[in-house]
Chains A and B, each alone.
Chain A
Amino acid sequence: MAFFGKDSEASSTQTQDVKQRVMQEAAQELAVADVTELINNMTKVCYDLCFPNPGPILTSADSKCTEQCSKKFMAAWNIISQTYASRLRQ
């Protein structure tokens, strides 16, 4: 890995700055990947449920279905996450 390259030392404040910046950027990238995966999955699932026969215009019933589906999906995410956590503890 490029991480473990040469070993010329920086000063300790510089070191802290670099560490903090690198971690912040990496955490940001991971958070974006995480929310992207959630949005993609939710879109696929709710599209399939709410638009079995997609019509020429978006109706208010369509929008309502999408909104309700997304809320149910989040609730399901929480249940799956809790159930998985208790399963991992066993």
Chain B
Amino acid sequence: MSSADLRAISQLDEASRKDIAQWVENEMAQAKLRSTIHNFTEICFRKCVTSIGTQTLAKTEELCLQNCLNRFLDTNSAIVKLIQEQNK
């Protein structure tokens, strides 16, 4: 955002500034979600797609991608739990 925009925003009434702040918060949350999905896709594509030769995913590759993400998320929650227990 340019400094001219920031100046323009600072001159808006409070309700409008709140609207924009709310909107920005929303958009940032969505952007973060999409970025997380990009990251997961890279991790699981590397694991599950080891050769190219068709432009569609094989059924086994699709299944692998689903399992890859689910086990990755399980790993994440297991680690969070372990760290929390250590800190008790």
Chain A residues near B (Cβ < 8 Å): 2-10, 15, 18-19, 21-23, 25-27, 29-30, 33-34, 37-38, 41, 44-46, 48-50, 65, 67-69, 71-73, 75-77, 79-81, 83-84, 87
| A44 vs B70: C-alpha distance when bound (angstroms) | 23
Q: B interface vs A, CB < 8 Å? A: 1-2, 5-14, 16-17, 19-21, 23-24, 27, 31, 34-42, 44-46, 48-57, 61-62, 65-66, 69-70, 73
Q: How many A-B residue pairs have CB under 8 A?
A: 138
Identify 18 residue pairs between A and B in the complex whose beta-carbon atoms are under 8 Å apart, listed by A's number.
Answer: A3-B17, A9-B11, A9-B12, A15-B12, A15-B16, A26-B24, A30-B31, A34-B35, A41-B42, A46-B52, A68-B55, A72-B49, A72-B57, A75-B56, A77-B38, A79-B66, A80-B41, A87-B70
Is the Cβ of B35 less than 8 Å from the Cβ of A37? Answer: yes
Q: Are A49 and B31 in contact (CB under 8 A)?
A: no
A3 touches B10 (CB 8 A): yes
Query: In the bound complex, what is the Cα–Cα distance between A17 and B36 (angstroms)?
Result: 33
Q: Are B52 and A76 in contact (CB under 8 A)?
A: no
Taking a contact as CB atoms under 8 Å apart, the answer to whether A26 and B53 are in contact is: no
> What is the CA–CA distance of A23 and B27 in the complex, to the nearest angstrom?
10
Residue from A8, A26, A48, A65 whose CB has the most chain B CB atoms within 10 Å:
A26
Please state if B20 and A19 are interface contacts (CB–CB under 8 Å). yes
Question: Which chain A positions have C-beta within 8 A of B36?
Answer: 84
B38 and A72 within 8 A (CB):
no
A-B interface, 6 closest residue pairs, ranked by CB to CB distance from nearest: A5-B10, A71-B55, A68-B55, A2-B6, A80-B41, A41-B42
- Rounded to whole Å, the gap between the CB of B67 and the closest CB of chain A is 9
